[in-house]
Amino acid sequence: MKNSKEVTIYDVAKVLNLSPSTVSRGLKDHPHIKKETCDRIKVVAREMGYRRNKFASSLRKKSTETIGVVVPRLNSYFMATAIAGMEKITNQLGYGLIISQSQESAKQEIACLSTLYNSRVDGFLISLAYDSADFNYFNTLFSKGIPVVFFDRVAEYNDCMSIVIDNFRAGYEITKHLTEQGCKRIMHLGGNLLRNVYYDRFWGYRRALDEAGLEFDDKMHVINDLSSQSGLDVARSILEMKSRPDGIFTANDTTAVALICELQREGIRIPEDIAVAGFNNEPVSQVIKPNLTTIDYPAREIGEVAATSLINKLRYNENIGFSRVVLRHRLIIRDSSLKKG
């Protein structure tokens, strides 16, 4: 019968004829323990099947050294890249991540937060769900002194930091580019205006229209979930229009690519008939023909800055208060929008 007894540092110490305190410090590469001794302790501990009792350690330190991450979707290039940035920092600084997705549901978001809270994470990195509107559930976290850093889709809340880009400026720049290409009837495909990213991009679009002397038309503003299917649906509705747009600005690349493919299947020339621009600079933007004009959104940097900010708060009790870190974006002009060459 296999021995199911958990191996302890006392068992390792007995085999090595060392004190338990020496074994404990050797496993942590304590500077007072010789490297050769540390290496020998680790080899024997591994051979014996020793596992660090993280739960007991957490109770002693009152910290689990884990961070809870709540994102709208994991099948998003932007979110996957942001999480990779977070992992780079947490791996360097000795923290773990527990990642959960809200599936774009405020109700599921609350369930994710509750599960992670009960798992005793030290802090949260959060990008809000599509329909989140009531943030009272965050009060539980704040009352317990658990720090929160929002990124991308953020809420303005006391004692929370937000990591974003200037979405208003980005929406303005991409729409202005379309007007400079001679577009007069520009459609905007955006998301729920409850979320800062879509609200700001929409008003940047409106500002550029105003400056170009173009009248805003409600029919040219389409709100949907910005999926591939939404891109197909919008393309089909455009084909039925008597007065079609001559330019389209979508709030992500996924929708833009699906839209371009469907329009091209029906004989619409891009950009000659309709110029198209997306947002996020996903890899697919350089695969589609013509290559897609877009906004470079520094997702990995957003993840790195968010994780670093939260860990600094945890380690040094920095008073981040309500503050906003705005990272730089970049308009990338490609063939999909170049009517004038």
What spatial distance separates the first Cα and last Cα of the chain, rounded to whole Å?
Answer: 77
Instruction: State the pLDDT confidence band at 138, using cuts at 50, 70 and 90.
Output: confident
The 66-71 sheet, strands edge to edge:
96-101, 66-71, 123-126, 148-151, 160-165, 323-327
Instruction: State the pLDDT confidence band at 63, using cuts at 50, 70 and 90.
Output: low
pLDDT at 1 over 50: no
Count of CB atoms within 10 A of residue 341's CB? 6
Instruction: State the chain's mean pLDDT as an integer.
Output: 90
Give the helix ranges, DSSP H, for 120-240.
139-143, 167-180, 196-211, 228-239
Burial of 202 (0-12, 13-18, 19+ CB in 10 A): buried
Instruction: State the pLDDT confidence band at 207, using cuts at 50, 70 and 90.
Output: very high
CA 147 to CA 158: how far, in whole Å? 11
**Residues above pLDDT 90, as percent of the chain:** 68
Query: What is the per-residue pLDDT for 59?
Result: 46
Q: Which range, 54-63, 156-165, 214-223, has the best average confidence (pLDDT)?
A: 214-223
Instruction: Name all domains of the chain by residue range, CATH numbers in brackets.
Output: 9-52 (no CATH), 64-165+299-327 (3.40.50.2300), 167-297+331-337 (3.40.50.2300)
Mean pLDDT (whole number) for 145-165? 89
User: pLDDT tens, 252-299?
Assistant: 999 999 999 999 999 999 999 999 999 999 999 999 999 999 999 999
Query: What is the per-residue pLDDT for 4?
Result: 56
Query: What is the per-residue pLDDT for 255?
Result: 96
